[in-house]
Structure 1
Amino acid sequence: MFGPVESAAVTLQQDAEARGFLAAWAPVDLPPSVVDRYRAWIADRRQAGMGQLARNVEVRLAPRSRLAWARSVLVLAAPHRFPDPGPPPGGVRIGRVGRIFWMREQDYIQRRVQPHLDELKEICHRLGGRCRDYVEQGPLSFRSYGAGAGLGWIGRNGMLLHPEWGSYMTLAVLLTDFEVEAAPEHPFRCGRCRRCLDRCPTGALLGDGTLDANRCISYWTTQHLDLIPPEVWDGLGSWLFGCDECQEVCPWTPEAERFWEGYEPEPELAHPDLSDFLTLPIHMFAQKYAQSAFERAGRPRMARNALIVLGNTRDSAYLPLIRMGCEDPSPLVRATASWAAVRVGGRQEAERLLRDPEPLVCNEARRALEFS
């Protein structure tokens, strides 16, 4: 027999599972080993330029320091290993995009995930509980809670791995005041496999379930705000936004599947036309990519990334498009274009940028010419 609190927790979990989530409970207090590991990671500055990960560490590692009533976490996982919709016709579609960005973020979260969370919060209240929800980017250690709930284990790629869904999961949590027992720890099932470590082009994976964001392709293409150092370019390869290398090679990665009937990834997000980021006016860019991760990053940063992909081809056929980057209003884009131009044989374009009014652009053009 369950007591009233245990019964309420079971009911809430069952309602979440009925909506298509994987759901499991974890205590709100993280194990000391997790806390120590995160503090050491921050002390080693492995978070790169993501300063938010080093702020409010006490809240991230101990939510009860802010929400004293919290006792447990209902971890919810939704798969996002969507099938590849294939590229639309036309355009320059040579940049790769991480699968999680194949959908419009606000549309996916606000229309597909958040309504379920709102209803689950109402159910929690009717059951006599208090709760608060977070999705993906809240100040919590989502993957650690997923492991603490027994949903999987932290793999060598630093991802939460589920034995059926792999690591392609969008995570959300409900903090509640229900008392729950800690779930049995899921066994570590990576064994001797090192595919993710061997596949990572930049050596960002440290082998202990953590990564060095200073080397991570996803960090550079989605989080870094400024010029991407040329010495990083080769490792980025054709990745335009995000990176799935360590997930694609993982033996636990399942076949592509659909989640929530009627929702499909968008071809224009999975295989974007790189010329959009160098030719579209800002208002047209914002309109076409509204509510997507591309809009969140902004046109200049997407143009920066596109130029790196084009430059990495070493193909002079892309010089006309790179030339447009050399004339872009953004100094960030022009500075990046100087390196891309030199890489595809366009020294003259870089030489013209030596007279640019922005010191950043002049300096990068000079460096690119000297390096070549």
Structure 2
Amino acid sequence: MTKDQHTYLIKQKAQELGFMYCGVSKAEFLEEEAPRLERWLNQNMHGQMRYMENHFDKRLDPRLLVDGAKSVVSLLLNYFPEEKQQEEDNYKISKYAYGTDYHFVIKDKLKELLHFINDEIGEVGGRCFVDSAPVMDKAWAKKSGLGWVGKNSNLITPQVGSFYFIAELIIDLELTYDGPIKDYCGSCTRCLDACPTDAIIAPYVVDGSKCISYFTIELKDQLPQEMNGKFGNWVFGCDICQDVCPWNRFSKPHQEAAFAPHPDLQHLKKADWQELTHEVFSQLFRKSAIKRAGYNGLLRNIKFVQGTTKEEN
């Protein structure tokens, strides 16, 4: 089989597995991203996400992650829900966290894809990556033509929007490579205007340490008092810069059963959140990404948004 045939087979199987899009780029050093990443880290825009400082070289060169890597296969999996949370008398969590933790769901699909490649094409070495290793997923997806990186630093895809997960297979098989597409943000600044914590400090530059998602998920300390009143009702993550993006008017509900929310989640009121016991938390979010914040972290966020958090002396 030729490179074209191999590429076609992989993309066809990815579609069968439920991935929305699949694109391929050459595994090489990310020259354009290197100075940008270094500047972002030097300006401490990663806050307490110290893991972002680790494996700087591997983050920029997939050949250091997979011996003899030739191709980065980027995949998008839709998570836009059919039914959103009730807005009234409720606290908000990011749409991506409604159902089963995406790491489990996507890892299984990627393993199946890699298994398929070995069965149909031959012995191919490679690794699966879902946001838990030093891989610049948005950069690779952009290189493979799956979208452009918008002013809110999210990957945006024409006719689809940005409510999807990005994953990769890095393999030692040469394939037919796709090319990047144009940036269609134009003069729009809706995401910059809407961010309540001013985390988007300039078009295409997000100070991660000012983002509501960072505060409610990554930050393990007390939440800073200067952010009081700026979170709205967000207690895990934040979708504001995506919700206001005009491209997300094209978002269509996902077909992934595992991403369906726990039935009780849709009926929670603010009082239920405030009285959440460890037992109910474990039951509601047993396989959820919300476990990353933990029970105590979620309660801290709820109290902060509720306005009951007092500055410690």
TM over 0.5: yes
Q: How does 1:241-320 map to 2 (within 5 A)?
A: 241-253=236-248, 254-260=250-256, 264-266=260-262, 268-269=264-265, 272-275=268-271, 278-311=274-307
Q: How does 1:327-346 map to 2 (within 5 A)?
A: 336=309, 338-339=310-311
Equivalence for 1:34: 33
CA contact (8 A) 1:124 1:131 kept: no
Equivalence for 1:119: 112
Asked which structure has the greater CA Rg, the reply is 1
CA distance in 2, matches of 1:208, 1:271: 37
1:69 partner amino acid: G
1:96 partner amino acid: K
Which deviations, in whole Å up to 9, do the C-alpha atoms of 1:199-239 show, x marking residues without a partner?
Answer: 11111113342310121111001111110011112221221
Higher helix share: 1
Say if 1:198 and 1:214 are closer, same or farther in 2 by CA, change over 3 A.
same
Which deviations, in whole Å up to 9, do the C-alpha atoms of 1:230-252 show, x marking residues without a partner?
Answer: 11122212211111111011110
Which secondary structure does the structure 2 equivalent of 1:74 belong to? strand
Correspondence for 1:10 among 8, 11, 29 = 8
> What's the offset of the Cα at 1:255?
3.9
Q: How does 1:105-144 map to 2 (within 5 A)?
A: 105=101, 108-110=102-104, 112-126=105-119, 127-128=121-122, 129-144=124-139
CA distance in 2, matches of 1:306, 1:202: 17
Say if 1:150 and 1:165 are closer, same or farther in 2 by CA, change over 3 A.
same
Which deviations, in whole Å up to 9, do the C-alpha atoms of 1:164-199 show, x marking residues without a partner?
Answer: 221111111111112245422210100111111111
> What's the offset of the Cα at 1:54?
1.1
CA distance in 1, matches of 2:75, 2:24: 9
The question of 1:232 aligning with 2:230 is answered: no
CA distance in 1, matches of 2:277, 2:91: 20
Which secondary structure does the structure 1 equivalent of 2:96 belong to? helix
C-alpha RMSD of matched pairs (Å) = 2.3
2:160 partner amino acid: W
CA distance in 1, matches of 2:263, 2:224: 30
CA contact (8 A) 1:26 1:148 kept: yes
> What's the offset of the Cα at 1:104?
2.5
Equivalence for 1:175: 170
CA contact (8 A) 1:59 1:66 kept: yes
144-153 or 14-23, larger mean C-alpha shift: 14-23
Q: TM-score, normalised on structure 1? A: 0.76
> What's the offset of the Cα at 1:122?
0.9
* Structure 2 runs not aligned, ≥5 long: none
CA distance in 2, matches of 1:219, 1:280: 22
Number of residue pairs matched by the alignment: 309
**Kindly, what percent of the aligned residue pairs are identical?**
28
1:71 partner amino acid: K
Say if 1:267 and 1:87 are closer, same or farther in 2 by CA, change over 3 A.
farther
* Structure 1 runs not aligned, ≥5 long: 312-321, 323-335, 340-363, 367-372
Which secondary structure does the structure 1 equivalent of 2:59 belong to? helix
CA distance in 2, matches of 1:242, 1:27: 33
Say if 1:270 and 1:217 are closer, same or farther in 2 by CA, change over 3 A.
farther
CA distance in 1, matches of 2:98, 2:47: 25
> What's the offset of the Cα at 1:297?
1.4
> What's the offset of the Cα at 1:39?
1.5
